[in-house]
Amino acid sequence: MKALRIIGAPSDLGQERRGVDMGPSAIRYAGLKEKLESLGYSVEDLGNIQVPTPEMHPVTNHKLKYFDEVKRVSQDLFETVRDAMTDGHIPIILGGDHSISIGSVAAVAAVKPEFGLIWFDAHGDMNTEESTPSGNIHGMPLAVCLGHGHPELVSMAGFAPKVQPQRVVLVGARSVDALEAEIIRKSGIKVFTMAEIDRLGMATVMEEAIRIAGSGNGGIHLSLDLDALDPMFVPGVGTPVNGGVTYREGHLAMEMLAASGQLCSVDVVEVNPILDIQNRTGKMAVELTESLFGKTVL
């Protein structure tokens, strides 16, 4: 029996709209543990790591907001996820904003250096201190994983980059900042924008994404930002962008990744219950995770 370990990272330090810290609770409330157990998994929920409250900490660098706090949370999450993987569990990390992936991806890299990364997101998350228009670190984690950004974030766990660009795929992009676009073009990662998903179809996109991210022998980490989906399906996200992945496209992507047998870990981030309607986004997060772990119609 495969063993899963749920780890909550209720951080809203990486962005400015309060509420995403309640994302882990909303996803749990929608029945994540029970539904994964019904698929035949052994599931352990470790609860949440400790996260500072933003109001208790002044912003000292408006280009890297809550830098020290994000760094501390990332280190704690790194250790918790690393230990889960070392113990033989597949970690499911519940955000919180997308800055938590700085810690989770570092942990995967420490345990499985040849892993690949699929970043399912409406945004590029490739800003740096120099390019960011907002200073919000949730717009920077993919850059950090690739070795771009503040040295103290990039060098977490004592090595950088965490993943090679030739094994990174961004799926669903449709909102990218001007300077960020140049960083992405130079980075060497593969990007499938929504226009390419429209043109090629999600099946073709995911076949290629799995091929690229799975080209090493370390498995695939999925970083699943719920805002990759169209807001009509996930109203409770902090930075919604119209024209996203449909309900069925999202499930197909997860089903294909499940069928590949290469999933080693997953982040599920940016669920904001304050902005949600009857926990639709929390429920969608659970449904997608079920598909990711093998739920099918027959």
The model's pLDDT over 208-229, given as tens digits with 9 standing for 90+, comes to 999 999 999 899 999 999 999 9
Residues involved in catalysis: 98, 121, 123, 125, 138, 225, 227, 270
Mean pLDDT computed over 141-165 = 97
**In the sheet that 3-9 helps form, which strands lie side by side, from edge to edge?**
42-48, 3-9, 90-95, 263-269, 220-225, 116-120, 168-173, 190-193
The model's pLDDT over 6-65, given as tens digits with 9 standing for 90+, comes to 999 999 987 777 899 999 999 999 999 999 999 999 999 999 999 998 777 788 887 999
Q: Is 62 exposed, middle or buried (0-12, 13-18, 19+ CB in 10 A)?
A: exposed
Q: What is the DSSP secondary structure assignment for residue 274, as one 8-state letter?
A: G
The model's pLDDT over 77-134, given as tens digits with 9 standing for 90+, comes to 999 999 999 999 999 999 999 999 999 999 999 999 999 999 999 999 999 999 999 9
* The pTM of the whole model exceeds 0.85: yes
Strands (E), the chain: 3-9, 42-48, 90-95, 116-120, 168-173, 190-193, 220-225, 263-269
Ordered domains of the chain (ranges, CATH): 3-292 (3.40.800.10)
Distance CA 209, CA 203 (A): 10
Q: Is pLDDT of 242 > 90?
A: yes
CA angle 204, 205, 209 (to 5 degrees): 120
